[in-house]
Structure 1
């Protein structure tokens, strides 16, 4: 027998003996979880408490009585003081009959009216109304069994016999949710003079709405069969118009065109099923336990607190097929409704597709081109989900990242969501970014093949069965970090003050829509990165991959890990970033345990190394967190080939290069913010002894090349140096070809081939080194900054700032690397094409450097001339 708590021992129930006996009989079958765990803290003052439950039922009364006893709350079975009520509880929906008796609903207005009348003439009296929601079997566990899914909580009002079976099968997973009490006196005072009967009806409506909202949050929205949603899609004005237009264009009957639209809608629509979701949760619990060592969520409490009242759209990073399963499982296990997930139609496989569809997946084709009807049907389906308040989830990267970096966003789903909201802005939209971090990927080897040029293998049932062998491995820990949410309304207010006048026309596309969607996509990616989780594998990858042979002496590795942890702790990237608590020794031991690194014993000290293909796989996890050390890597890069540099030079060059780093890594600062981050990083390096400051902090100097501090700086720098090599490849190739000679697509191709050749001739580079998308992004940023533009014939032209960038690259890149790049691109060492600037092109940051800053820099140079020429002394 369990020991009674103090609260239980002092509890006095006025229930009849048969009620207490039934409670004792039911007790072994029911285990209650209270939400919140200590609901007594919700009560306000000493006013009497009256509980209200959603549905009348003997079992609900027993569960409520026990929950109140265990929580130290007043008994619901005692008379309510100052009223004629014999019990301190009533139900919104009441019924007569027993077992197979006939049910009929009775109005809750009578008890509410009694409560109101009991306060008349007594202004000092008050009653606290406490809504209590009771759910039996919301989420079956290993203890409850498979069959219990059929009798778990749902939206259907069940009979007493079915409720009894639910208690027997799922009673050990019972949730009792106490809401904050409502002061009846306060509400009456706010309403003013109102008849008790009218007030009771209004209060009952408010309580019903409250219970529906809580039930939707706990077990999901009340969705009918997908055919209902499909009918709403087909009956909408935009779809009917598109059906008519298709029939006229293709000279077919309206009925045949309608059948085509219906087939498309059925192909798209989810068929959400609560039993299937709970069944999948039951299965996935064992699956995750075999696959992972743990799944952790950070900042989920903040995400849950921000969600009520919003249409929530989850926008996670996309790194594995496990992403959406993990998200859905963790949300369901945490008491939050599973979202509808946009999935590529390639996943609509036999057997697998129907299960995913019933788990909330809706399918979209990879391309909408060539079919005027399909995009209208799909847009309308998304609009229906938003209109019904169904939470959604999609990946704005468009596909899984093969490099570990966030991909450039594809804004299609975002644009559909915004346009759907503009049509009917009833429920505000909240985008919830989520960072998903792994320590090992099931798809790792296939990613390497795709990056090396192999075509992506098409998803198939046979391929899925063939890949089940990966389930025999262990994949470490997984982290789901919930980033800062983004409200759509403030963004619309800031960028399009007249957005509320956009109207209900589904075909309207305001001029500002693309700018809003682009800004929204950027903010989502930035907030995903701000919520990064730094695990032991990320730190090992940052350190070991920065060495030519991907190997470090154990003492050096321990020192580097300690430095990087200190950097992230003292200069946190954001308040949502999380960092492994393991110390450097434990991190190394964990890396060995996971099979990522190998120890080579040696009399002079052990060496830790990453062997062969593992190094390429490990680059994925370095790229996950590359943005966190971007500021530190830039400062360190400035000292790769220079002993001394002025602080002003580091900041000046940093401001020039920042737009390109920002676009590639989705960094959160503006130019001034990045400058402040560089200043803080320099100060950190000075405190740690990696740099020495002189001249009142204006001149910075590192130790000689063989010094430990110089070695640590070099390791930090090499995490970002390949980005600058890529930038140099692009500008060198463009300047070598000259203005008006090459298109953007041709330049991308030249850059990719050059990077591939460099990778073959020099030490192996990370797979993304010759990723065409990264070159495309850099060229886009050059064009965005009007450093490069397209002439009337589609050829690229550029300003003199491009040659300035070539010259500035000498500060960062080694002479050998610059000459190798120029040799491959056909350039003549450091000779470049003649400068020229188009008259109508605005000056760039490189051309408008502050004059006082230049004078200050020259003064520092003169002041320290006896040491060496600034920015030119090499090791």
Structure 2
């Protein structure tokens, strides 16, 4: 060993004690060996950007924990660097000299390339490793930024203080390895040439990794405000406001500045570190863990794309959980669009420093505010800051995804058209909870109580809820969606709009509606099946929310069979537990009660849990909706042809596709239906006889399981039947306005719920009826006359009969009788049209708008 190597080893030994006392490093990803498929047989070389004895010691500690080769100083005398050797692209900086290129690493890489060519059966891998202290991007104009944020350019003296103050915030980030026997490396080239190329690739990697992990430098808040007010977009809005109001320029610009202060985040790395520490303690107290899936692709995308995270919105914890987990996984926490209702003391200040920017519920009528918000959002995108917003607009109280509010999507598209540095990539995120701390308030709101305004008092009330245990949380990242690719898929040519700050093309409104629906489908495709949701779905299939324990376990096992043998999507997260273990988890969380009985124990849901069970069931209903729909066909049919099943499924599917954001388009439906039928055949729920399918014998347990599967789709089928029953109860000369059809459908649902004891307020959710009336119009099942009303078309009769055939006879009869009763009561409010005259006969004093 050379004298130089001996001195480095001596330096390492001196460093170990202070590093042990001062530094607590965290690795990202947490298990690089598994994520990057590193084998014990691989010859691994660590690549770091700047020479550092500290880095070698930190890597040595990490390697011991992760079962990776021990990090060591490279012995230059060896023909091939040992596995675990560290190579540095740059030399260590000194007091009087910045870091310079270290050419020695190219010599070592060339040796490795030669070794790979000589040993094709062995795999040599270069693993880039970045080390960050505090992860502060620094301000654009700051003397301290040089010392405290650009750590790699800091000398020993500065680094000592960095370790002293930021040692507990040290991140060791592992990058995607480069295998020297991969297609990325041409072994036929001279080793020196290949080494030079690999050196360039690694430098680019470190630059991009910095952007993904630390983010761009933050702008001084005063400069941000002045810059937005002086921008062309806001300047034009100011000019319009001067003409409209007669106020002075100074007054309007002052108001614009106030809007910026109201909107803009005040991002603070110190606040992020504080929240990280605080939330770690909180999550450990109330959750059994946070399970993250499909994050690897996001790490790669963060280096090249402007990321827009679009999660589903179930809880106020969503904001914190996603940012927290991204930070701990070595990614920049996004700036989050939050409702102005959350901007109250002290929460508003904390959220603002954590990256939240605030928006009003409506921009309507305030052109100046709209211009300021648009400009602010554009600057976030253009600067490379990741953004997060909830396109549903608010928290779902039903467990279903809400219809997207397209305002933020439209502004995102407009920012892209205006021109930003990196292409936009939407990242759908499914956030699932076994239990939610807002559960109690949701029960009240579902029962019609007014939503409580966020306030300090409400915040203090959360303390009681945080004393409970809420099981696991699931963060699943869905299939990303590139905005430019989606525009191309829709055959939209936007090239002539580039550079326009206020472009609002004719296609924009319809495009963002389609875009929002597609993002919702991708969120649902990343669903996580958990114990509470599965048990809720199972018990809601019974009349009294109770089931024999062994039958429940068998049904849970059956649901898991369908999930595994006919998976909903490649991004779905399926638990490894069996039915018994899933039920045990639900019991521990206090969701169900077990009643001991000599004939067999019974599992039931009681009280508020019965209402909440519909919420949790709706989280995963889309996964089993098609399975349930197929099973429903056999409620009243003993033998069914394959063609009959396909026709029935295709007729109802547009409703499910719209209401539940089920992922398949109509062209994929036959293949998926065949897959589910085959699974039913495999488990003897169905049998094939010639060209027909027959259900299991009514005395067999498989028949009961098939009928239990059918129940999940029944509430939806009943709602569809309600609107159609009202349409077909009209006289030939009658029409009905859209609003009336929605209202009467809702009243009929409330009537049915009262008659049959359905304790699920979402059963008569008005938004569901709006959704299905929209489908009726889009599919041409109703004839709509502007300003007059709508009536069912001839093609709608087949749909109606198909849906009725999937309902039990008592339910069908009860629904039709209740509809007749309600229509009789409301006959004086129905609009009549004379067949031979376009004139309206209005029986009520007020004509309703369609």
- Which TM-score applies when normalising by structure 1? 0.81
**Aligned-partner SS, 1:289:** helix
Cα distance per residue 1:589-618 (max 9 Å; x no partner): 222211111111111111111112211111
Tell me if the contact between 1:317 and 1:395 (Cα under 8 Å) persists in the aligned partners: yes
For the residues of structure 2 that align with 1:406 and 1:383, how far apart are their CA atoms?
27
For the residues of structure 2 that align with 1:61 and 1:628, how far apart are their CA atoms?
48
Q: 1:574 to 1:153 in 2, by over 3 A?
A: farther
Tell me if the contact between 2:173 and 2:330 (Cα under 8 Å) persists in the aligned partners: no
Partner of 1:767: 761
Q: 1:153 to 1:208 in 2, by over 3 A?
A: farther
Partner of 1:565: 560
**Aligned-partner SS, 1:533:** coil
Moved more, 681-690 or 657-666: 681-690
Matched, 1:166 2:162: yes
Tell me if the contact between 2:56 and 2:86 (Cα under 8 Å) persists in the aligned partners: no
Bigger-Rg structure (1/2): 1
Matched, 1:134 2:162: no
2:12 counterpart (13, 23, 47): 23
Matched, 1:108 2:105: no
Q: 1:666 Cα shift? A: 0.8
Tell me if the contact between 1:50 and 1:130 (Cα under 8 Å) persists in the aligned partners: yes
Partner of 2:735: 741
2:254 counterpart (254, 259, 273): 259
Partner of 1:308: 303
2:607 counterpart (575, 587, 612): 612
1:721 counterpart (708, 714, 718): 714
For the residues of structure 2 that align with 1:474 and 1:407, how far apart are their CA atoms?
27
1:489-504 equivalences under 5 Å are 489-504=484-499
Cα distance per residue 1:368-400 (max 9 Å; x no partner): 112111111111111111111111111111111
Partner of 1:841: none
2:464 counterpart (456, 466, 469): 469
Partner of 1:860: none
Moved more, 675-684 or 531-540: 675-684
For the residues of structure 1 that align with 2:767 and 2:777, how far apart are their CA atoms?
15
For the residues of structure 2 that align with 1:444 and 1:557, how far apart are their CA atoms?
24
Tell me if the contact between 1:137 and 1:173 (Cα under 8 Å) persists in the aligned partners: yes
Q: 1:46 to 1:666 in 2, by over 3 A?
A: closer
Q: 1:639 to 1:171 in 2, by over 3 A?
A: same
Cα distance per residue 1:27-51 (max 9 Å; x no partner): 1233666778579989xx999x996
For the residues of structure 1 that align with 2:683 and 2:178, how far apart are their CA atoms?
55
1:75 counterpart (56, 73, 76): 73
Q: 1:94 to 1:540 in 2, by over 3 A?
A: closer
Q: 1:35 to 1:440 in 2, by over 3 A?
A: closer
For the residues of structure 2 that align with 1:664 and 1:327, how far apart are their CA atoms?
26
For the residues of structure 1 that align with 2:600 and 2:38, how far apart are their CA atoms?
59
Tell me if the contact between 1:736 and 1:827 (Cα under 8 Å) persists in the aligned partners: no
**Aligned-partner SS, 1:826:** helix
For the residues of structure 2 that align with 1:458 and 1:470, how far apart are their CA atoms?
17
For the residues of structure 1 that align with 2:652 and 2:414, how far apart are their CA atoms?
35
1:196-345 equivalences under 5 Å are 210-345=205-340
Q: 1:819 Cα shift? A: 3.0
Tell me if the contact between 2:60 and 2:71 (Cα under 8 Å) persists in the aligned partners: no
Tell me if the contact between 1:80 and 1:88 (Cα under 8 Å) persists in the aligned partners: no
Partner of 1:417: 412
**Aligned-partner SS, 1:639:** helix
Matched, 1:807 2:804: no
Q: 1:224 to 1:213 in 2, by over 3 A?
A: farther
**Aligned-partner SS, 2:73:** coil
For the residues of structure 1 that align with 2:596 and 2:126, how far apart are their CA atoms?
71
**Aligned-partner SS, 1:441:** coil
Cα distance per residue 1:719-743 (max 9 Å; x no partner): 1101111111111122324566322
Q: 1:642 to 1:153 in 2, by over 3 A?
A: farther
1:537-686 equivalences under 5 Å are 537-686=532-681
Structure 2 unpaired stretches of 5+: 118-124, 137-144, 836-850
Partner of 1:826: 820
Tell me if the contact between 2:311 and 2:390 (Cα under 8 Å) persists in the aligned partners: yes
Tell me if the contact between 2:652 and 2:803 (Cα under 8 Å) persists in the aligned partners: no
For the residues of structure 1 that align with 2:552 and 2:106, how far apart are their CA atoms?
71
Q: 1:651 to 1:505 in 2, by over 3 A?
A: same
Partner of 1:848: none
Q: 1:801 Cα shift? A: 2.2
Cα distance per residue 1:789-821 (max 9 Å; x no partner): 431324223312233333333311233323333
**Aligned-partner SS, 1:134:** strand
Q: 1:760 Cα shift? A: 1.1
For the residues of structure 2 that align with 1:755 and 1:658, how far apart are their CA atoms?
21
Matched, 1:708 2:704: no
Q: 1:670 Cα shift? A: 2.1
**Aligned-partner SS, 1:433:** strand
1:750 counterpart (737, 744, 753): 744
For the residues of structure 2 that align with 1:211 and 1:277, how far apart are their CA atoms?
23
Q: 1:76 to 1:675 in 2, by over 3 A?
A: same
For the residues of structure 1 that align with 2:602 and 2:12, how far apart are their CA atoms?
66
Tell me if the contact between 2:215 and 2:384 (Cα under 8 Å) persists in the aligned partners: no
Aligned-pair Cα RMSD in Å: 4.1
For the residues of structure 2 that align with 1:761 and 1:620, how far apart are their CA atoms?
22
For the residues of structure 1 that align with 2:63 and 2:611, how far apart are their CA atoms?
58
**Aligned-partner SS, 2:266:** coil
For the residues of structure 1 that align with 2:811 and 2:674, how far apart are their CA atoms?
28
Cα distance per residue 1:335-393 (max 9 Å; x no partner): 11111111101111101111101111111101111211111111111111111111111
Tell me if the contact between 2:546 and 2:602 (Cα under 8 Å) persists in the aligned partners: yes
1:531 counterpart (521, 526, 530): 526
Q: 1:326 Cα shift? A: 0.8
For the residues of structure 2 that align with 1:570 and 1:176, how far apart are their CA atoms?
39
Tell me if the contact between 1:50 and 1:88 (Cα under 8 Å) persists in the aligned partners: yes
**Aligned-partner SS, 2:474:** strand
2:504 counterpart (503, 509, 520): 509
Q: 1:828 to 1:211 in 2, by over 3 A?
A: closer
Cα distance per residue 1:722-772 (max 9 Å; x no partner): 111111111112232456632211211111111112111112142211000
**Aligned-partner SS, 2:635:** coil
Q: 1:826 to 1:28 in 2, by over 3 A?
A: same
**Aligned-partner SS, 2:290:** strand
Q: 1:22 Cα shift? A: 3.4
Q: 1:168 to 1:727 in 2, by over 3 A?
A: same
Q: 1:448 to 1:658 in 2, by over 3 A?
A: same
Tell me if the contact between 2:16 and 2:57 (Cα under 8 Å) persists in the aligned partners: no
Cα distance per residue 1:614-667 (max 9 Å; x no partner): 111111111111111112101111122333333322211111111111111111
1:375-390 equivalences under 5 Å are 375-390=370-385
Tell me if the contact between 1:318 and 1:395 (Cα under 8 Å) persists in the aligned partners: yes
Cα distance per residue 1:676-724 (max 9 Å; x no partner): 2222222222222222321x242424423x5422221221111110111
1:817 counterpart (811, 828, 832): 811
For the residues of structure 2 that align with 1:716 and 1:543, how far apart are their CA atoms?
8
Cα distance per residue 1:510-541 (max 9 Å; x no partner): 22223332222122111111111111112211
